[in-house]
Structures are given as structure tokens and as C-alpha cells.
Chain A
Amino acid sequence: MWALLLLIGAASVSAHLQDLSFDGQKVFRVIPQNDEQVEILNFLASIMEVDFWQPDSVTTVRPKMQVDFRVEAEKSFKVEDLLKESGMEYQVLIDNLQAALDAQFDSKVRTAGHSYEKYNDWDTIAAWTADIAAQNPDLVSRSVIGETYEGRPMYLLKLGKSGSNKKAIFVDCGFHAREWISPAFCQWFVKEAVETYGKDTVLTTLLNKLDFYVLPVVNIDGYVYTWTNDRMWRKTRSKNAGTVCVGTDPNRNFDAGWCTVGASKSPCAATYCGSAPESEKETKALADFIREHLSTIKAYLTIHSYSQLLLFPYSYTYSLPSNYQELNSIASAASKQLASLHNTKYTYGPGAKTIYPAAGGSDDWAYDLGIKYSFTFELRDTGRYGFLLPESQIKPTCEETILAVKYIANYVLEHLY
């Protein structure tokens, strides 16, 4: 039984990669009793395409050996006639291969169990990053930008049709461990890209002309901790010297007015800024990557929850950025786009005035580095469920947010610098 599942598995992997349909195809199991019957199988293999599952070649078939093979739908009748005529012992192992494959993909027994409409744990997300890249090699590639405090690889997905001199947009999710809707959005965004490429004109143009760097979870250790120990955890999981208190707030840990306002110097606080800017391996990895690719990265989007806000610099000061009017217009239009789907109201504006002054944020840091389109999203909701946003809201939240992200990306494309 397991061997059979393994074989179906093997077929399904190859099916996926080649994108063929196995509708109506049959898999036969025969036991040739003697050399004559072996010869019949040889004959069969010579007059039509026969895919031998076991053994893998007709040349190794011997009498009394169990032989499994796949044939095309139209040929299966001929094969069955031939087997009946020969008197060879046979059975139809799989009557319709496509149906069997479909059933397997729907089954919960399948490993990983990734779903875009559920919250996935880290192992599932990690496996998904590998799968999505393997399944879409022309559009998605995966790399590792660093390691977390607890030694986990930080996976980054690069989306886009390969080309030269392409500019890029950087999108990250999962800064704060308890904001589960955030990593869900990054996964959804990648899904949209691969599924609608070639169908959605806007996204196709974006992927042709730009690259998207998507970091599905920045604070992986924290995210794992919210699954295993404390759903309300926010910070990283790094040890702090001289105290039992764990973790640094990654979004207070960047070199942007670091620790001057809206952050705490106490390691026990939720907004602890860390022992120094980029003290955390995760923030350092992110910052290093952006610095290394600074000439190509033209926009920075960081996804958080909750409050339904679209923020732009500055948060570390009440001063306004030099392109404030432009950022404000973009935010206004993007918010309108978002609201157009489900009427979800977003508030937008510069961070300090709109939510609170807070130093050390990645958006301010990216902006001061020269990335002039830098935005923080705070996704649904406004407090009713807060961090515990029901899974039923993943789809509508992601769908509306994508409209805003597409708007911003399109704007950036039309205003490259």
C-alpha cells in the first residue's frame, strides 16, 4: 500500500512539474507467468508509450515478477483486450490516475498542509517557500539572507520575470510575532503573483518590469514562540544580559533616531530597543540585505497589524519627510483602493502624528537610506479581535490589501528614480 502511495507520489511530482493531465489514464498490475507473457509486455512497449512504474524498464521484467505500468487513456482499452487475450493475470490498479492525484492533493493526509486561508506554522511556511519556488522557477527563487537568534534560516523569496537592470520593491512580514495576519499576507501576495501572472495585466507588468523581494517572516523565533508558548509574544527571542527578560522589539532596533522616543531601554518592556541598533541577528540580516541591494530597491513595505493604518515616515520625529505631499497622496489613493473592495476604512499619515512617535523603525531607516517610498501597513482589524483575527478574515484582508500594494508598486514603477 505504501509503495503504491509512493508511486502515486512520484507520478504526482512529475505531473506537477510537467503540468500534464492524466485524465482517464490507467495503471495496470500484471504478473507474467512465463517468457511468452514477458514477451507480450515487450511487444506492448514497442507499439505504444508504456510508462513502467515497477520495474522502471521493460528490459528488467522477468517471469513471476509483479509489473506495474501506466498507459494513456485511449490506449487502455487496447491494452486490456491484449491482456485478456493473453490469459495473463492482471488487475486495474488505478482506474483514473487524474482522479487519484486530485484526491491526494485535497487530502489532509498530505504533508505540510499549507493553506492560504489558514494560519500556517513556521515549518509549514518554510516548506512552502521551497515548494512555491520549485513549482514556479521562472517567477520565484528562494535564498537565505541570514539566521535567527535560535539558528533558523531566514528565507527570502524573489518574485519577477528574470531580466537585466530591474529595480525592486522590498516587502516584509512578521516583524512582530503575534501579528499572524502579516505573514499570511506575504504568502497570499506570492500566491497572487504566481497564479495571476499572465492573466492579470497589472501584476504581469509589475513582475515583468520589477522584482519583488518578499520576506515572509522576519521574526521567525518569535513567531514559533507564539505557536508553542505564548500567543501574545511580540519581540525576538534573544537573551538579554543580566536579566531573565527575553527579546528585543525588532521595530525599535533600527538605526533611525534609535531609542530616543517611543521605545524602552528596559529589556523587560515590549518596546525594548535592544542593546544597540541592529543588535538582533534578524534586523541585521534585513538591514545588510537592503544595504547590499540599495541601488535596486526603490520601495520598502513592511506589514504589521492591527489598526487599519497606512503609515509613512517619520515616526522618530514629528518632522515631515521632504516628499511628504507625494507620500500622502500615494497613501490616500492606496487607502481608497483598499476600501473599494470591502469598504474597510484605513487611516493614513506620517507615523508620529497618526499613531505615536516611535524611534528605531525599519520604515524610517529605509527612508533615510534613500528609499523614498517607504510604508508601514497595519492590517485588520481595529481592536475587536486585534491580534486574534479569525481565519475567515484572512482572504478578504489579503485581497483588499493587495489592491493597495499593487497601487503603490505601480506608482513606483511609473516614478522610478
Chain B
Amino acid sequence: RAMELPTSHFPAARAAAVALGYLRYLRGGPGRGLDLRELRRARRQDVDDVGHKYYLELELEDVLDKDRTVNCTAEVLYHLGSKSRAPDVQVTVQGELRSTEEADQEFYHRIRSLEKELVAENIPDSHGNVPPALQPIHLLAGVASGYLIWQNSTENTKFHLARVKHVKQVKRSDEDLQFDYVVLLHEMVSQEVIPWEVTVLWHPQRGARVSRDQRQPGHTLG
């Protein structure tokens, strides 16, 4: 009873963006960013009294290694009626993602040994540049945004990370790294750019988790 959808049309694209956000959150890190290379197939099923369920087949690429792609399947369930309930997402990655162990360790020790806590803003800059030293910070912002995108998407939204407005490292007594971000999320349908505070904890073995997030009042009005 699942209906085939044209992958070129927006409903499928939006569901794919949610799946990608979820996967970024789960598997992304300072050494790994994932992008959608192609949406291969999309189907939709209307589940009575529950919501709309999308079945997707995606081809993803590694941001740091464009020649490397990986296939995955995903299910995205948007819940009926409730705009505030995050979609349920399940993703299965076929095959192996490139190991980032070395890069992760290097990043971890570099940040831990900083005397002054890292602070940066406007990544990328106005001309699209990301200084190489801040590339992992940018990728980690992608992880945090992935969480926000997953948690806040509906069938009528499509979010992308537009820019890191500000990032501040917060030194911790435990082994995690902590970064307090203000990211700008671009929402495609309303065309709004929304500032969002989000705190990410990250550890080379344990991965990333968002500990706190708060949407800020809209982008400058004037």
C-alpha cells in the first residue's frame, strides 16, 4: 500500500533531508560529514491514525572523500497532527563508513591541549571559505544541526545548516569536549534563517550528543 514517489519532487526530498540529519547525528563527527549524493527511490505510506511513512533508498557521499559513497535505506515517519513531535527515523547503512579514528584522536588532543578555549565565528566566511583548522568544528556543527533538523522537521519544512554564527569551546572536568554553537539553519519553504543555540558533547569513542538546544527569535527583522 506504499505509493511510489518521484524522487525529484519535494515531499521525497524533504523526507530524505530528515533521514540525512538523523544519520549525521548518529555517525557524523569532526572527521566525517555525510551529504546526499542521490535519492534513488522514495515511497510513501499513509498509516491510519498514525501518520505518513516514507521509505527511502539513498546514496550518500563522504564530504572529505567525494569518491567514496555508501548506500543506505531509511524510514521516516511523520506523526499525524503533532507538529511538535519529532519524526521517527530508522536508517540502515550498507557497508562500511571510512574510519576516522586517527583524525578524531588528532582533533581530540589538539583541542584538549589548547591553553585558551577555542572561539570562532562565521564559518564559512562570506565567500564560502572554511580555514582548514576549523574544518572539524564545521563538521561537528553539521552533526549538531543534523540533530536539530531531525528533531524539528515536518512534511512542510526542509532545513539546511547555513552557517556557524558562533562557536565557543567550554572546558570540562570529564573527558568530553564541549562546544556551544550558535548555528543558522536555513528553512527552504519559509526561506527563514533561524539562529539556534546548541551544545554538543563529543568524545572520540563515544561520539557526539546534543545536551541542550534552544531556538532563538527570528533572524534580524530589519
Contacts and interface: CB of A to CB of B under 8 A. Distances in A.
Nearest to A381: B35
Interface in A240-260: 244-246, 249
Given A349-B9, A386-B162, A234 B191 contact: yes
B221 A388 contact: no
Given A119-B127, A230-B220, A384-B35, A270 B8 contact: no
A25 interface: no
Given A244-B222, A355-B10, A388 B189 contact: no
Given A232-B184, A268-B218, A390-B129, A349 B8 contact: yes
B115 to A, nearest CB: 30
Interface string A380-408: 00111111111111000000000000000
Given A271-B191, A349-B9, A356-B189, A232 B163 contact: yes
B38 A388 contact: no
A356 B221 contact: no
Contacts of A353: 9-10
A232 B10 contact: no
B207 interface: no
B9 to A, nearest CB: 6
A354 B10 contact: yes
B63 interface: yes
The A interface is mostly helix, strand or loop, or mixed, namely loop
Given A246-B221, A270-B192, A386-B160, A345 B128 contact: no
Contact of A385 (B124, B184, B193): B124
B191 A268 contact: no
Contacts of A383: 17, 35, 160-161
A392 B126 CA distance: 13
A356 B10 contact: yes
Contact of B128 (A354, A355, A389): A389
Given A388-B127, A391-B127, 18 more contacts: A119-B126, A119-B127, A232-B162, A232-B163, A234-B191, A244-B222, A246-B221, A262-B189, A382-B35, A383-B160, A386-B160, A386-B162, A386-B186, A387-B162, A387-B186, A388-B124, A388-B126, A388-B162
Interface of B: 8-10, 17, 35-36, 38, 63, 122, 124-129, 160-163, 184, 186, 188-193, 218-222
**In the A-B complex, the 10 residue pairs with the closest CB atoms:** A390-B128, A383-B160, A270-B191, A347-B8, A246-B222, A232-B193, A388-B128, A245-B221, A388-B124, A231-B126
6 contacts: A226-B126, A269-B190, A269-B192, A271-B190, A386-B162, A387-B186
